[in-house]
Amino acid sequence: MLDTKPAPRTATPPAKTWRNYYRIYRVLHLGRMGPVFPGIHAGPDLFPSKDVAEQFASTLLAAVNPKGRFLMDYVAAFPEGDRAH
């Protein structure tokens, strides 16, 4: 009679690596990255999960930002291949 088939699955596979994005407010000299100008920039490291990426970002911002000032701000962690812009 009526032949019903299940809908095809279009789920995307989970991200394998994550990259942090940061907003820079002034020119900074950040070791491996060299001078970084104001704007939104990707971090140099890849992480196995979003949780690990977010934990690293909070540790980095605590080390970079002086008390009471913000030189960098965390935007978000995105799967490798996606962009924050």
pLDDT value of residue 32: 80
pLDDT value of residue 51: 93
Between 10-19, 40-49, 67-76, the lowest mean confidence (pLDDT) is in 10-19
- Residue 22's nearest CA partner among 54, 52, 50, 49 is 54
Q: How does residue 12 score in pLDDT terms, banded at 50, 70 and 90?
A: low
Q: Which tops the pLDDT comparison, 43 or 30?
A: 43
Hey, is 47 helix, strand or coil? Answer: strand
pLDDT digits (tens, 9 = 90+) for 46-83: 999 999 999 999 999 998 888 888 889 999 999 987 66
